[in-house]
Amino acid sequence: MNADDENGTAGEPGPDEDAFADALLEEELRQAAAVLDPVPAELVQTVLDAFVLHDLDARLAELTFDSVVDALPVRGVVDAPRMLTFRSGEVTVDVEVTGDGLIGQVLPPQSVRIEVLGGPGAARPVTADTLGRFTSDTPPAGPFALRLRTGAEVIVTEWLRA
């Protein structure tokens, strides 16, 4: 009689066998999901593009105001533009999102290069003037973010849906 028989553990799977069974079950579930509910190719491409756009040394600008969430509705206004404010350290970015595009300002005023990031398309470059003002004639479609390149740093806003 061995020690396992005395402790009543004979025939029970060990830790290695449990890990193997879990890995096998996980792989079977992956294969079933790939056949029954595949991930759309355009979604895979969007995820890959978003990862490629990721700047490791960029600072994240936090959303501090969103008129959809924070503002009180005004009676009689049907299609009000969306107002957003992002902050990263001393830099603030105010953006108005309309059906015609983006209008915004970087504070403190400075010349910065801005890219409007959105989905699988290429980033659309926008330049802010010496007062920090910028416009984009193309309204964002779907999720978008802004990448600001100042002289010394890169700042990226949170991703939002237009």
CA distance 144 to 118: 4
DSSP 3-state of 86: strand
Note the pTM of the prediction, 2 decimals.
0.62
Residue 49 pLDDT: 67
Q: Which helix (H) or strand (E) holds 155?
A: strand 154-157
Written as tens digits, the pLDDT of the chain (162 aa) is 454 555 545 566 677 888 899 999 999 998 998 889 888 888 887 777 666 555 656 788 899 999 888 766 666 666 778 899 999 989 999 999 988 889 999 999 988 899 888 866 667 888 888 899 999 888 887 888 898 988 778 898 988 887
CA distance 70 to 67: 5
